[in-house]
């Protein structure tokens, strides 16, 4: 399983009645994370530069893997990989 992480605004919605409850998130931020998940190899964690800016310095190690053209975007986005 590969993981894609992106940080930004989302739209959160809930659907429910007496016997059913479900939540979903949508938006550009979610779409980018899903694209990164699709790019990630097994056991790989990919993230965007906006997520990197939200992480405390020294908490994790990262390796840039280059700019990737993601579905729905007009220009490439810088993608990083979490390393051990």
Domain count, the chain: 1
Enter the tokens of residue 76: 């490439």
Burial of 68 (0-12, 13-18, 19+ CB in 10 A): middle
Q: Does residue 25 contact residue 7 with C-beta atoms inside 8 Å?
A: no
In eight-state DSSP terms, residue 77 is E
Integer Cα distance of 4 and 20 in angstroms: 29
Residue 65 predicted with pLDDT over 90: yes
State the CATH number of the domain containing residue 32: 3.30.70.1230
Instruction: Write the pLDDT tens digit of every residue in 20-57.
Output: 999 999 999 999 999 999 999 999 999 999 999 888 87
- Residue 38's pLDDT is what? 94
- Residue 83's pLDDT is what? 92
Domain that holds residue 15: 3-83
Q: Does residue 36 contact residue 6 with C-beta atoms inside 8 Å?
A: yes
- Residue 84's pLDDT is what? 77
């Amino acid at each position: 399983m590969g993981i894609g992480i992106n940080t930004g605004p989302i739209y959160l919605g809930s659907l429910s009645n007496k016997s059913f409850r479900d939540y979903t998130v949508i938006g550009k931020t979610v779409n980018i994370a899903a694209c990164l998940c699709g790019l990630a190899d097994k056991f790989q964690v990919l993230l965007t530069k906006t997520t990197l800016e939200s992480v405390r310095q020294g908490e994790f190690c990262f390796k840039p893997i280059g700019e990737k053209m993601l579905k729905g975007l007009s220009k490439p986005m810088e993608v990083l990989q979490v390393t051990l």
